[in-house]
A = this chain, B = another copy of it.
Amino acid sequence: MPSDSAAQTAVANPPTADVGAAKTVVSVDAMGGDNGPAAVVAGLKSFLQKRTDAHVLLHGPQTTLDPLIAQHGIASRVTVSDAPDVVAMSDKPSHVMRHGKSTSMWSSIEAVREGRASVCVSCGNTGALMAVSMIRLRKAEGVNRPAIACLWPSRNPAGFNVMLDAGADIRADQDDLLTYALMGASYARNGLDIARPRVGLLNVGTEEHKGRAELKVAHELIGEAAARGDFEYIGFVEGGDLPSDRVDVIVTDGFTGNVALKTGEGTATLISDLLKSALYSTVMSKIGGMFAGSALQGLRKRIDPRRVNGGVFLGLNGTVVKSHGSADATGIAAALDLSYQLGKSGFSDKLAARVASAAAIAQDTSNQDTDPS
């Protein structure tokens, strides 16, 4: 079984050819977000200030993008790739797959496929982004359903847990859930620096007899795969464990994961707003707010959904990061930074090696089972 580091050695020449090996190139879809290309370019600027060895390929209508880039003074760090059309939030994925070749989304994925960038970021329509990523980048060996992994603010030392699938597919059978466990563990190892991640399977209770039939089978499969996947399987976890320090990777289907993600974000936003109103409610509380200001600022930052912006598509031949459609410049900068880290670490190749290796072992086991000798 190749370790993640062995897989890294195998891709010692990451595909960043056109700007030299020293730079990490990020391919960015400028269009399709709720706040338009201005928010994307504003986010780009703060990202480029932080990551001085990054270069950006920016996709969208050249006539729209050139003035924005000039305005922010980042022309030397950004190469515009002209793409006249935009994928709308209401476009069906099937329509974009057939007619989307001239869109900024398609162009930004194409740059990863052709090795001109190591990772792609888009704020656009999630379904279309996944569909185009699937047909252009193709699923990695051993993966039936790719998944979206998101980071969840938690009590863990890293500050985050990984949850997947956050909404790539509304279904997941037992084999998909096993693949999610392997992919999620690899992401936690490479993205959060957790050597041996603890993986849990989301259910409505922690007792073994609870839950749907496919969860009981997945429970067995993931337990058996823990050794070769180099993770610890802690069994079933519940919704309350998502922000806990019991677990690093939470595995679930994309319907449940999407509802949980949006519920958590909605709850955090409600409480954050209520906190703001509470501090403006009386003269005394306003004075208190001034004294406690910086401490409360730290808290607001910690629970700010924009700070963990960026769902990562796992299970494709290439890394694609989906930013929130409603992301502002702060949110977009966070998604760009996550993309940069993943691109720089060669994560996509490490993950592919891990899943392919697990699939090969499963295949061997299956062949042995039916071997008449």
CB distance from A47 to the nearest CB of B (A): 26
Cβ of A202: which chain B residues have Cβ within 8 Å of it? 259
Contact A299 B270 (CB under 8 A): no
Q: How many identical chains are in the complex? A: 2
Q: Are B259 and A278 in contact (CB under 8 A)?
A: no
Tell me whether A284 and B292 are in contact (CB under 8 A).
Answer: yes
A98 at the interface (CB under 8 A from B): no
How far, in angstroms, from A255 to B277 measured CA to CA in the complex?
34
A285 x B292 contact (CB < 8 A): yes
Which of A167, A279, A281, A291: most chain B Cβ within 10 A? A291
Say yes or no: A262 contacts B238, CB within 8 Å.
yes
Which chain B positions have C-beta within 8 A of A293? 288
What CA separation (Å) do A254 and B260 show in the bound complex? Answer: 13
Kindly state whether residue A82 has any CB partner on chain B within 8 Å.
Answer: no
- Listed residue (A207, A256, A289) with the most chain B CB atoms within 10 angstroms of its CB: A256
Interface string of A31-46 (1 = CB under 8 A from B): 0000000000000000
**Chain A: interface secondary structure?**
helix
Tell whether, in the assembled complex, residue A294 and residue B302 are in contact, meaning their CB atoms are under 8 Å apart: no
With A204-B254, A204-B255, A204-B258 known as contacts, the answer to whether A291 contacts B294 (CB < 8 A) is no
Contacts of A75 in B (CB 8 A): none
User: Which chain B positions have C-beta within 8 A of A298?
Assistant: 278, 281
Residue on B nearest A291 in the bound complex, by CB: B288
Q: Which residue of B lies closest to A282 (CB)?
A: B295
Question: Is A243's CB within 8 Å of the partner chain B?
Answer: yes
CB distance from A151 to the nearest CB of B (A): 14
Cβ-defined contact, B260 with A260, below 8 A = yes
Bound form: Cα–Cα A211–B170 in Å: 7
Contact A244 B266 (CB under 8 A): yes
- Of A170, A265, A287, A303, the most chain B CB neighbours within 10 A belong to A170
User: Could you name 8 residue pairs across A and B whose Cβ atoms are closer than 8 Å?
Assistant: A153-B270, A171-B212, A204-B259, A212-B255, A279-B295, A284-B292, A284-B294, A287-B291
